[in-house]
């Protein structure tokens, strides 16, 4: 029997934006809010009204926007010590935001009352009561974040409980217990919630931080102990080590604990929303992120791949499509026949499991990786290797040579890079030169310049990423270098690889593989006469 639904409270736009490496524009925040609403969040904390111009503009604009489900929530603190609540600017800004819900935080740790607020415990209680009762007169739903609750309870349990009872009496609709310093263990979370949940009748929430790598575990422990609201951020972004990661919490609640939170259709958007927020935050998406990372359902070992083909449960705890992800079969020197067959099917290549060419592909693969090639991030190069072994790779041009010149002149001017390439297409020889911001950029431009007159579809191909790895550091400047590049067009991206003691040669290999992949996979051979 399915238990009561859990309410999801997202604070990506406020707590998440406090991460030192993240800044959202107002437009970013509006776009993220829409994505969070589509995902099924019940509350979206938009920021702290009045604290900065960006949040002021956000609340002005978001008030004119319609959301399917989510309640936009304004965040702030209790009134200042010794100030009348009616005159407190923070409280006034919260009301002006005119949101469906308001959340304020107050001190529950006697240390903070004494050291941070520089006031006494009774005044702190009055601050909480005055603020909540005044807000409740003007706002339908008011929540109280009991800041540092678990540290406060461990220090002075009687006072911590007195604080949350005061919040309930003042009209709080939710009391949210906060592990603000992120230092508690799941066992402590459970023990303390079990001890206090009978003290108040108002529903409880949980807000955890990740300073001990336990934010998700602590949030789930709190749910098991009886809380019914979970606060967190997309991808766990936030101040210091971050907040509880809702992208992990949501599938754990729904799939592992059988608790309602979002619909099955909304769950399929989990990876999309995770990637979207990282994109707007200008962060690389974490490949190994549970549930939604590119590597979350990636299989490399031949034994694993063989078992996965028989029954996905052998090495997958859920079906990746449930959270909008997909299974990936990697190819490396650990690969077996199962990997090769699976990848062939993925590329639309029909090959029988008994075909001796599989062994040829496998031997070539292992020999290449022994030289330093890596195909886990270069599936474009691997597909070319496979098609070549099967006799299915088309030859679109013949390489005749290239030259790269780097010239540094006097003064502070940047070095000049020029590349010349010589190729032949159907017997027609082409020699082309191009300048670039570096030798690889010049080489890329020269290749494209030489070939686009024969294959105009290459105009859509762009270089997105370029990575260099030194493979044997002890050889110094004579070390083998591996170059991984990511290219793409308007439809998709692909990776290719090159290895050489000469970084330009390695780059050339990866660049020409990228071109050949595009022509083999997406285009038919053109009449270049």
Q: Identify the bridge partners of residue 489 per DSSP, sorted by sequence position.
A: none
DSSP string, 73-141: EEEEEPPPTTS-GGG-HHHHHHHHT--SEEEEEEE-SHHHHHHTS-S-HHHHHHHHHHHHHHHHHH-SE
- Sequence spans of domains, the chain: 7-262, 298-389, 398-522
What are the backbone angles phi and psi of residue 192, rounded to the nearest 5°? -70, -40
Task: For residue range 214-253, list pLDDT tens digits in order.
Answer: 999 999 999 999 999 999 999 999 999 999 999 999 999 9
pTM above 0.85, yes or no: no
In CATH terms, are 7-262 and 398-522 the same topology? Answer: no
Task: For residue range 342-357, list pLDDT tens digits in order.
Answer: 666 665 667 776 777 7
| pLDDT (0 to 100) of residue 2 | 47
Most confident stretch, 214-228, 313-327, 437-451? 214-228
| pLDDT (0 to 100) of residue 447 | 92
| pLDDT (0 to 100) of residue 97 | 96
For residues 444-450, average pLDDT? 93
Across the chain, what does the average pLDDT equal?
Answer: 89
| pLDDT (0 to 100) of residue 1 | 33
pLDDT at 4 over 70: no
- Residues of the chain above pLDDT 90, percent: 63
Q: Which CATH number fits domain 398-522: 3.30.160.270, 3.30.470.20, 3.40.50.720, 2.115.10.20?
A: 3.30.160.270
For residues 123-141, average pLDDT? 97
| pLDDT (0 to 100) of residue 482 | 86
| pLDDT (0 to 100) of residue 529 | 38
Top-tier CATH class for 7-262: alpha beta
Task: For residue range 501-527, list pLDDT tens digits in order.
Answer: 899 999 999 999 999 999 987 554 443
Element (H, E) at 175: strand 174-179
């Amino acid at each position: 029997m399915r238990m009561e639904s859990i309410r999801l409270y997202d604070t990506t736009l406020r707590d998440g934006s406090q991460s030192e490496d993240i800044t959202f524009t107002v437009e970013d925040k509006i776009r993220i809010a829409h994505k969070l609403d589509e995902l099924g969040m019940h509350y979206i904390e938009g920021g702290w009204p009045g604290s900065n111009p960006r949040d002021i503009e956000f609340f002005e604009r978001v008030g004119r926007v319609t959301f399917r489900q989510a309640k936009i929530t304004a965040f702030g603190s209790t009134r200042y010590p010794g100030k009348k609540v009616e005159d407190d600017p923070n409280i006034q800004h919260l009301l002006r935001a005119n949101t469906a819900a308001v959340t304020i935080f107050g001190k529950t740790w006697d240390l903070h009352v004494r050291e941070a607020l520089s006031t006494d415990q009774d005044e702190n209680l009055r601050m909480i009561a005055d603020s909540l009762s005044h807000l409740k007169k003007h706002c339908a739903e008011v929540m109280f974040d009991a800041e540092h609750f678990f540290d406060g309870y461990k220090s002075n349990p009687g006072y911590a409980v007195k604080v949350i009872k005061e919040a309930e009496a003042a009209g709080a609709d939710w009391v949210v217990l906060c592990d603000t310093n992120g230092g508690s263990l799941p066992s402590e979370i459970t023990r303390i919630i079990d001890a206090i949940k009978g003290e108040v009748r108002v529903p409880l929430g949980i807000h955890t931080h990740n300073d001990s790598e336990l934010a998700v575990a602590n949030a789930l422990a709190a749910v098991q102990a009886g809380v019914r609201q979970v606060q967190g951020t997309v991808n766990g972004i936030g101040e210091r080590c971050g907040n509880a990661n809702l992208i992990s919490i949501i599938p754990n609640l729904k799939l592992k604990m059988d608790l309602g939170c979002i619909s099955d259709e909304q769950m399929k958007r989990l990876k999309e929303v995770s990637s979207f927020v990282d994109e707007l935050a200008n962060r690389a998406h974490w490949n190994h992120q549970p549930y939604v990372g590119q590597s979350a359902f990636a299989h490399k070992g031949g034994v694993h791949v063989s078992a996965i083909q028989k029954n996905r449960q052998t090495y997958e705890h859920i079906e990746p499509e449930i959270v909008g992800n997909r299974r990936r079969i990697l190819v490396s020197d650990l690969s077996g026949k199962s990997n090769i067959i699976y990848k062939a099917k993925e590329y639309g290549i029909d090959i029988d499991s008994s075909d001796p060419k599989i062994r040829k592909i496998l031997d070539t693969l292992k020999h290449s990786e022994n030289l330093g090639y890596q195909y886990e991030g270069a599936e474009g190069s691997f597909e070319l290797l496979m098609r070549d072994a099967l006799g299915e790779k088309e030859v679109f041009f013949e390489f005749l040579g290239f030259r790269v010149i780097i010239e540094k002149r006097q003064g502070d001017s940047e070095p000049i890079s020029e590349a010349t390439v010589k190729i032949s297409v159907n017997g027609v020889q082409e020699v082309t030169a191009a300048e670039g911001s570096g030798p690889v950029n010049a080489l890329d431009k020269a290749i494209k310049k030489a070939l686009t007159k024969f294959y105009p579809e290459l105009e859509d191909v762009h270089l997105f990423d370029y990575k260099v790895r030194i493979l044997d550091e002890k050889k110094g400047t004579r070390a083998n270098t591996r170059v991984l590049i990511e290219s793409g067009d308007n439809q998709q991206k692909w990776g290719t690889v090159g290895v050489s003691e000469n970084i330009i040669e390695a780059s050339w290999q990866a660049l020409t593989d990228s071109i050949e992949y595009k022509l083999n996979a997406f285009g038919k051979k053109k009449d270049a006469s």
